[in-house]
Structure 1
Amino acid sequence: MNEILDLLAPLVLRFEAQLMTGVGLFSRLSILMLMLPGIGGRMLPIQVRLALALGLMSILFPLVSPVESGTTGALVGLIVGEILVGLTLGFTVRILLFALSISGAIIAQTLSLSQIFGFSAEGDSSSLLSTILTLGASTLFLTADLEIEAIRLLIGNLEAMPLGFAATLPSSDIAAEATGLAAEAIRFGITLTLPFLVLNFAYYIILGFLNRAMPQLMITFVGLPAVTLGGLTLLTLSIVAMLTVWLGRVAGVLGS
């Protein structure tokens, strides 16, 4: 084993800059791939995601400016910085998928279906409506070739922020940007559920009037199936529009 290491040592020293460049590019690219809808889900085997990241790294490697060779500490700093940049890029898309999951949870709550659980593309437990929305969104993301737009965004990011540039970024600006993105995504997710919130509000108003008019009637036994049926009908009619609006929002984020 020592003989093999001794033979590899001259090669490592000779191609040290190229190795650091490849490691930095792979760190930024792999984290971005893990954050994309569909590709980053746990349902996709880790071997497939690793192969995609390595293949894209080999394609993008000639486009990247080489990183100057340095010590082990410099390599660790490079990896941490590139992971942070890839995480920031992927977060802009990932938070919108999370917002859609919030929309599904709110809709399930308004339709009294929150007790029905399913498994999302990430492998964790969530409401059934959240699972339907996130799976539909992930499918649309891949069929619309938005993963290619994400790679194009990465290429533009590499031109604006070369490898090793992340060490000069102030963490406060990154935290403020992430907080703003999270707040905007949650606002967007709640906006998608407004028709169902209006339906739920109208249901309780009508329920109150009927309860005062006919106190002897068990209004809940009649009203609950009615609001569930009406909500599912509304979801059937609006789910295409919801996913289309979500897809346009993601395309706009990647385009900007």
Structure 2
Amino acid sequence: MSILYQLPIFLLVFVRLTCFFVTAPLWMERQIPAPFKWGTAFFISLLVVGLVEPEQVVQMDTSYLFLVLKEVLVGLCLGFFVNILLYAVQLAGSFIDLQSGFAMATMFNPQTGIQENLTGRFFYIVAMLFFLSIDGHHVLIKGVLASYDWIPIDSWLPSSVSENLVHLSLLIVKDMFWIAILIASPIVATIFLVDIALGILAKTVPQMNLFVVGIPIKMAVHFIVLFVFIPVFFIVMEKLVQIMIHSFEQMLKILGA
């Protein structure tokens, strides 16, 4: 095939992959250089463009601009809706820090440019390590490459895509809060029992200063339960990855023509 025939196809493939790597987990981090993101998309596009076979000849006319916008939407949706599930671990850390007294001890995260809770940041780092250990990044690359079978580059999005996307986004947000509560519930429940015990102790011994005794006790319980909870955290992460893959498949079905 001539280069002029392959060039429009290559540009469409490159746009989808670039938008995906900008919003997908791991690649979206600020410490990942931008040339690495679009460079990865460029070289993968070179490998994929020969496998993409549009039903009709793609020409650079007026409709080509709308195809580019469609590829931008597909790439951003595939990356963002998968990435939003990983925010569940940071949300769980916020719930825990709010109960244990670490909510005021935030740290600046240069990756996101905002202040984050300590436990939430710890959970996110462990989640990323777990994600890499199971080759989750390879699963995402295989998924975005499979999207060309579900969503051809020369086809348009179905008319019901907006309604289905809203419904799927609500389900993903619901799963995010459900997983966050599932992660945070053991530690939050334990610290709540400590609060009840301290309240009973304050009534029994009024001379005790709870601000001096209670905060160190809650901090110690926080770290002890967190250490015990780590194996359970990996079990929850397996469930999170399963939901992530299922959401990715649902996204392909919604965006597929």
TM-score tier by shorter-chain length is 0.7 to 0.9
Alignment match of 2:155 (pick from 146, 165, 177) = 165
Counting only pairs closer than 5 Å after superposition, residues 1-256 of structure 1 correspond to structure 2 as 15-66=3-54, 68-70=57-59, 72-118=61-107, 119=109, 121-169=111-159, 170-251=161-242, 253-254=244-245
Q: 1:179 and 1:165 mapped to 2: Cα distance?
A: 26
Structure with the greater alpha carbon radius of gyration: 1
- Which consecutive segments of 4 or more residues in structure 1 shift more than 6 A? none
TM-score by length of structure 2 reads: 0.85
After superposition, give the CA deviation of every residue in 1:18-41 in whole Å (9 maximum; x if it has no partner).
222222212221222223322221
User: Structure 1 residues 59 and 71, CA, compared in 2 at 3 Å: closer, same or farther?
Assistant: closer
Aligned to 1:10: none
Deviation at 1:72, TM superposition (A): 4.7
Whole-Å Cα distance in 2 between the matches of residues 17 and 45 of structure 1?
A: 31
TM-superposition CA deviations, 1:97-138 (whole Å, max 9, x none):
111110111112122112222316434321122221112222
Q: TM-score, normalised by structure 1?
A: 0.85
Give SS of 2:101's match. coil
Q: Deviations over 1:132-154 (max 9, x none)?
A: 11122222222321111112212
* Alignment-derived partner of residue 3 in structure 1: none
Q: What letter is aligned with 2:14?
A: F
Q: Is the 8 A contact 1:78 1:167 kept in 2?
A: no
Residues 165, 237 of structure 1: alpha-carbon distance in 2 compared, 3 angstrom cutoff: farther
Alpha-carbon RMSD: 2.2
Report the secondary structure of 2:157's partner residue.
Answer: helix
Secondary structure (helix, strand or coil) at the match of 1:167 reads: coil
Tell me which amino acid in the other structure corresponds to 1:21: I
Q: Mark the runs of 5 or more structure 1 residues left unpaired by the alignment.
A: 1-13
Unaligned 5+ runs, structure 2: 250-257
Which has the higher mean CA deviation after the structures are superposed, 116-125 or 88-97? 116-125
